[in-house]
Amino acid sequence: MKSDKQLQQDVSAELKWEPSINAAQIDVEVQEGIVALRGNVRSYAEKLDIETAVRRVAGVKGLLIDIDVKLPRANRRSDGDIAFSVDRIFLWSTYLQKINIKVTVENGMVTLSGEVACDFEHHSAITIIRHLRGVIGVVDHIRIKEKTVPEVVTGIMRPHLSVMLKMMHIR
């Protein structure tokens, strides 16, 4: 088991190694295996990259993130512009053209709500907007539709578990 000091060194080294992160802006503290990160980043994507990098470090039991996204002036956009961009990127994506997701943007924070057919669409919708300029965070209120399994699959009745167990001689 690593000491807190060793874990802090390992986390700091991982953050310095990751090219998408400006590690100089992040303070790392560790107490009983729980890593606390504080600081400022220049994009929402960088904030998520920090979390991913820290989770790669062996020995991390938990993660507290107190990191603010401070956009450079050149990356600031109006909420209307961000909402329009999210709508367009969904339209332009091969996987997300026909999804029913509502987009709300307030002070750069994007809220997605609605329903999608599967986890792949859900993950794609969240992931595709993380690198958009002007986005400082994403709130996920997307639901995945419940799938119903038909009783008849390709014209053959689906056997019940008890019938299958009998066929396999399991009691």
CA–CA dist 5, 99 (Å, integer)? 47
Q: Does domain 4-70 have CATH number 3.30.1340.30?
A: yes
The per-residue pLDDT for 145 is 86
Residue 112, CA distances (Å) to 15, 41, 90, 116, 129 in order:
29, 23, 12, 11, 10
Q: Is 160 helix (H, G, I), strand (E, B) or coil?
A: coil
For 127, phi then psi, to 5°, come to -65, -35
CA–CA dist 40, 121 (Å, integer)? 30
Within the chain, all domains assigned CATH 3.30.1340.30 are found at 4-70, 75-144
CA–CA dist 86, 80 (Å, integer)? 10
The per-residue pLDDT for 99 is 77
- Four-CA torsion 57, 139, 43, 96, nearest 10 degrees: 100
Nearest by Cα to 18 from 69, 44, 52, 42: 52
CA–CA dist 87, 80 (Å, integer)? 11
**pTM of this prediction?**
0.77
Using 50 as the pLDDT threshold, list the residues of the chain that sit under it. Answer: 171
The per-residue pLDDT for 46 is 96
Query: Are 142 and 115 in contact, with CB atoms under 8 Å apart?
Result: yes
Class of the CATH domain delimited by 75-144: alpha beta
DSSP letter assigned to residue 58: T
